[in-house]
Structure 1
Amino acid sequence: MGGSGEFSMRRGVYLRMRSLEEARRIFLERFPVGGWREPEQIPAVEALGRITARAVFAKLSAPSYHGAAMDGVALKAEETYSAHPDRPLILKLGKDAHLVNTGNPLPQGTNAVVMIEDVVELGQDTFQIERPAYPWQHVRRVGEDIVATELLLPQNHRLTAYDLGALLAAGVTRVWVRPRPKVALIPTGRELVDWETWDRQGALPEGRIIEFNTVVLEALVRQW
Structure 2
Amino acid sequence: MTGKEFFSVRTVADALAGFRPGHRTAVEVVSLFDALHRVPAEEVRAPTALPGFAKSTVDGFAVRAADTYGASDGLPSYLDLLGAVRMGAAPEVAVRSGGAVAMPTGGVLPDGADAVVMVEYTAETMPGTIEVTRPVAPGGGLVRADEDVAAGAPLVAAGRPLRAPDLGMLAAAGVTSVAVHARPRVAIISTGDEVVPPSTVDLAAGQVRDATASALAGLVVDAGGAPVIAGIVGDEPGALKDRLTEVLADADLVVVSAGSSVGARDETAGAVAAVGSVWCHGLAIKPGKPTLLADCGGIPLLGLPGNPLSALVVFGQVGVPLLWRLSGCETPPPAPSTRARLARDLASAAGRLDVVQVRLRDGVAEPVFGPSALLSVLTRADGYLVVPEPATGLDAGSDVEVILYR
TM over 0.5: yes
Contact 1:60/1:149 (8 A) holds in 2: yes
* Cα deviation, residue 17, structure 1: 6.4
**Distance in 2, Cα, partners of 1:114 & 1:51:** 43
**Are residues 127 and 34 of structure 1, via their aligned partners in 2, closer, same or farther at CA, if it must alter by over 3 Å?**
closer
1:205 aligns with 2:208: no
**Cα deviation per residue 1:126-158 (whole Å; 9 max; x = unaligned)?**
211134332111112222222221123332222
Cα distance in 2, alignment partners of residues 70 and 217 from structure 1: 51
> What does 1:1-224 align with in structure 2 at a 5 Å threshold?
35-81=23-69, 83-94=71-82, 96-195=99-198, 197-198=199-200, 203-207=201-205, 208-222=207-221, 223=223, 224=320
Aligned residues: 195
Structure 2 residue ranges without an equivalent (≥5) = 9-20, 84-98, 224-319, 321-406
Structure 1 residues 163 and 19, CA, compared in 2 at 3 Å: closer, same or farther? farther
In the TM superposition, residue 35 of structure 1 has moved relative to its aligned partner by 4.2
3-state DSSP of counterpart to 1:183: strand
| Cα displacement string for residues 163-221 of structure 1 (whole angstroms, at most 9, x for unaligned residues) | 323322333221111122222212234443333x25xxxx4333332211112222233
- Is the CA contact (8 Å cut-off) linking 1:74 and 1:98 kept in structure 2? yes
Go from structure 1 to structure 2 and tell me whether the alpha carbon gap of 1:175 and 1:125 turns closer, same or farther (over 3 Å shift).
Answer: same
Of Structure 1 and Structure 2, the greater strand share is in: 2
Q: Tell me the distance in 2 between the aligned counterparts of 1:189 and 1:76.
A: 80
Query: 2: CA distance between counterparts of 1:54 and 1:103?
Result: 32
Describe the superposition over 1:83-120 as per-residue Cα deviations: whole angstroms up to 9, x where unpaired: 45554222222262121121111123222111111102
RMSD of equivalent CA atoms: 2.9
How far residue 34 of structure 1 moved from its aligned partner, in angstroms, is: 8.8
TM-score, reference length from structure 2? 0.43
Distance 1:132 1:181, change over 3 A: closer
Q: Is the 8 A contact 2:67 2:77 kept in 1?
A: no
Equivalent residues of 2:71, 2:132 under 8 A apart? yes
C-alpha distance 205-37 of structure 1, shift in aligned 2 (>3 A): closer
The CA distance in 2 between the partners of 1:18 and 1:118, in whole Å, is 76
Mean Cα deviation higher: 136-145 or 74-83? 74-83
Counterpart-to-counterpart distance in 2, 1:182 and 1:221: 9
- Name the structure 1 match of 2:94: none
* TM-score normalized by the length of structure 1: 0.73
Deviations, residues 16-51 of structure 1 (Å, cap 9, x unaligned): 76967xxxxxxxxxxxx9944541111123212222
Maintained 8 Å contact 1:148/1:170: no
Instruction: Note if contact 1:49-1:159 (Cα within 8 Å) is conserved in structure 2.
Output: yes
Greater C-alpha Rg? 1
- SS of 1:157's equivalent in the other structure is coil
Q: Which runs of 4+ in 1 moved over 4 A?
A: 16-20
Paired-residue identity, %: 34
Cα distance between partner residues in 1 of 2:159 and 2:131: 56
Distance 1:187 1:82, change over 3 A: closer
